[in-house]
Amino acid sequence: MVAGYNTISMGTGRKEFHPKKERPGLEDYIKEAGQGTLKQIGGARYVDECVIGNFMASRFNKQANLAGFFPFIDEGLKGKPAIRVEGACGTGGLALLTGIKSVLAETAEVVLVIGVEVQNTVKAIYGADILAGAGWFKDRKEGHAYFFPGQFSDRAGAYFEKYGRDKTRKAFARWYRNAIENARLCPTAQEYNNTTKDLEACAITEPNGKSFVDHLNVFDCSKVSDGASAIAVVSEEGLKRIGIDKRDAVEIVGWSQVEDDITRKPMEQTELTTFRLAAHEALESAGISADHLGTAEVHDCFTIAGVMAVEAIGLAGIGKGTDFILEGNTARDGKIPINTTGGLIGWGHPTGATGVHQAVTILEQLTGKAGKSQIQITPERPYALSVNMGGNDKTLVAIVYKRG
């Protein structure tokens, strides 16, 4: 993969964001991200295929048939194959895999992959309806007004019960602090302008079940975001064609995609079992263990998901994710910096774009192009992992990367 590009993650938190002012539309984000990547690879003429990932433009923007926006990005894409994929918040990961498979199938040497979502077209309370589509619609009626926060609040409640509330909430607060501190170093991050002094004190605010959910507060949640990310999935042949050095690319050394039954409730509220399966399969296919990871991008749609992700990857034992986080291991100067540009809580969560954003962050970190967010990647731990999740542990994509 090469030539990553992220638009700003727009929404509350950004200085430029005013809910009542007109903002760029879906097509503007697609165009900006697409052109950002095309420019780096020498233009549309080198592209063989296009993939766009998007979750719910059909409702957020009343727009479908998104593949039709590729020629809008660049006339040179007219007449080329293009496809749109969807897997809720795991959409971006599926888009990447679709590109990877085309390259592996040798139907393409260069695939342009974009993920996009524009969600601030409706108030959060109606956005919750739309995002609930990531779950089974037959569960919607009995679900919470804020459907997904409700689902993960239940998980947090179960985790509190099993492993202790205080420590877990402290780990949530630390997770939040790490996310914001990382976001402050990344100019496209939604929380880039966050100036709160004591982040952990702010994050420990008691949840209020009357206006939101029982076990999580707003700081435990990912952002409502507008944004797009793009990257090129390229074969070695393709790299030559676009004239980019291997060292400026990341190699995909392993991957996994697994699904769980959307009509079923989680087997275990305190674990992300499908997430675990995907992460393990990916590491296995790369022939490495979690100890070889220099960094990871994990799907922290909620702080509780962050805690369980650390356990699911195998960085910490079951029920030990909180300690791992509180010991500072996931901070940017820790053993394995996680979500180095803020993740879903700090950078933002334009749902259909998130999986692609994860890949762009890893590409930048491994090739030394992460600017102020740059962490040090050592020869002992040269690998990186991204795990993108759709729904409540249903659609999972895990990818292992290494510098080319």
Binding site for other proteins (CB under 8 A): 123, 125-126, 128-129, 132, 137, 140-141, 144-146, 209-212
Least separation in angstroms between residue 59's CB and other proteins is 10
For other proteins, give the closer residue by CB, 69 or 147: 147
Least separation in angstroms between residue 224's CB and other proteins is 14
Cα 355 to Cα 358: distance, rounded to the nearest angstrom: 5
Residue 37 has which token pair? Answer: 């990547």
Cα 190 to Cα 342: distance, rounded to the nearest angstrom: 9
For other proteins, give the closer residue by CB, 21 or 210: 210
For other proteins, give the closer residue by CB, 263 or 289: 263
Least separation in angstroms between residue 126's CB and other proteins is 5
Cα 132 to Cα 147: distance, rounded to the nearest angstrom: 6
For other proteins, give the closer residue by CB, 146 or 160: 146
Return the closest-CA partner of residue 256 out of 89, 87, 61, 399.
Answer: 399
Residue 346 has which token pair? Answer: 């700090």
For other proteins, give the closer residue by CB, 31 or 215: 215
For other proteins, give the closer residue by CB, 105 or 125: 125
Least separation in angstroms between residue 95's CB and other proteins is 27
3-state secondary structure of 84: strand
Least separation in angstroms between residue 140's CB and other proteins is 5
For other proteins, give the closer residue by CB, 44 or 213: 213
Cβ atoms < 10 Å from Cβ of 376: 12
Q: Give the 3-state DSSP-derived string for 132-194, with helices as H, strands as E and coil as C.
A: HHHCCHHHCCCCCCCHHHHHHHHHHHHHHHHHCHHHHHHHHHHHHHHHHHHHCCCCCCCCCCC
Least separation in angstroms between residue 132's CB and other proteins is 8
3-state secondary structure of 277: helix
Least separation in angstroms between residue 376's CB and other proteins is 42
Cα 86 to Cα 229: distance, rounded to the nearest angstrom: 15
